[in-house]
Structure 1
């Protein structure tokens, strides 16, 4: 049975600003909803790549190797910082920014810290019969949230000032990604 707690928790976490949502918003601003739709399979594959192994092995790995979670958080923080720097530099060179690629969405989603919460906290154990229906509903929610963030990006392009708004959006997105990266690093050092 799908629980209200799962749906509300997963939606709240999925809708929260983060690295994948930032990329989907930028993709919407750069190429419209058709671009976002083409990137959704990469996001779904990224979440599957992160969530499935963590769901089946994560708890055991975290117990056996206490530093495993810190390594995952560190890798995510570094990748997010790299994304922020690349996004900022692409605007500094006079371009509109590099097109958001499926590869970038996939890697970012694989390293998204939200995947840890989904796999180790929100989704039921893979040994229960509720795991597959919850996972399927999660995939539907991922698609919906990607379209919401992509739609927000598209809205920045309405009117003649769209290009200027895109540049502002990319600067804000870059700064936000750096904030997320630093927050992860601070969390690691305090944890």
Structure 2
């Protein structure tokens, strides 16, 4: 069964002729399709990693939690991020991919909801009591909601993932989940090793800076929706 599928894939790429199915074509197909698949995975991984490492609402929360509670105590937040991305991506693949392509207004509405939610997080962070640790307001549930509303999920689901039935893209989804965990760990480490010292010496400054950054992200999302930015 597998050799036959391999041959069909090779034939669709024009690697072997339609009449060329025999035992000698199997190794040819395997030699060519293998590198093609690895190249596709490599390109996908690089694009996703570049997107995930870009500063944004979810990464800001992860860095702040890493600064306030340390990497180990913040690891449960990674589950919230992975679950949020997978919910959005699987919904796009299974239900809403074609619908969103023909109804751009829904994607804009999601961005507007994201802007409102990120603004709420900025206010919540700013109004934390001075005695509260910087990571106190950051929970797996809030990371999950923030990730669900993060436009990065739309980019992955509609642009970066191959447009194919769900059974054929499971390897990409598993690879994406691993990359999310890696990027999240990087941002937790950024908070733990680069921001923690500043938080201990000037906690109000760190919270104010992070709150201001989230507010700028919120305004950027809203400006994109209304065509200002």
- Normalised to the residue count of structure 2, the TM-score between the two structures is 0.75
Are the counterparts in 1 of residues 125 and 137 from structure 2 also a CA contact under 8 Å? no
Identify the residue that residue 15 of structure 1 maps to in structure 2. 53
Match of 1:145 in 2: 183
The number of residues matched between the two structures is: 187
1:171 matches 2:208? yes
Give the number of the structure with larger relative contact order, counting CA–CA contacts within 8 Å between residues 6 or more apart.
1
RMSD over equivalenced CA pairs, Å: 1.9
User: CA 1:128 to 1:47, structure 2 compared with 1: closer, same or farther past 3 Å?
Assistant: closer
User: Once structures 1 and 2 are overlaid, which stretch shifts more, 113-122 or 97-106?
Assistant: 97-106
Find the aligned partners of 1:31 and 1:5 in 2 and give their Cα distance.
35
1:65-117 C-alpha deviation (Å, 9 max, x unpaired): 34211111111111011111111111xx4233434111111111111111000
* SS at structure 2 position matched to 1:157: helix
TM superposition score normalised by structure 1: 0.89
Provide the rounded CA distance (Å) in 1 between the counterparts of 2:87 and 2:167.
Answer: 21
Unaligned runs of 5+ in 1: none
Q: Does structure 1 retain, via aligned residues, the 8 Å contact 2:92–2:157?
A: yes
| Corresponding residue number in structure 2 for 1:157 | 196
Q: 1:78 aligns with which of 83, 91, 116?
A: 116
Moved over 6 A (4+): none
Structure 2: gaps spanning 5 or more residues: 1-36
1:34-183 residue pairs with structure 2 within 5 A? 34-90=72-128, 93-96=129-132, 97=134, 98-127=136-165, 130-155=168-193, 156-158=195-197, 162-183=199-220
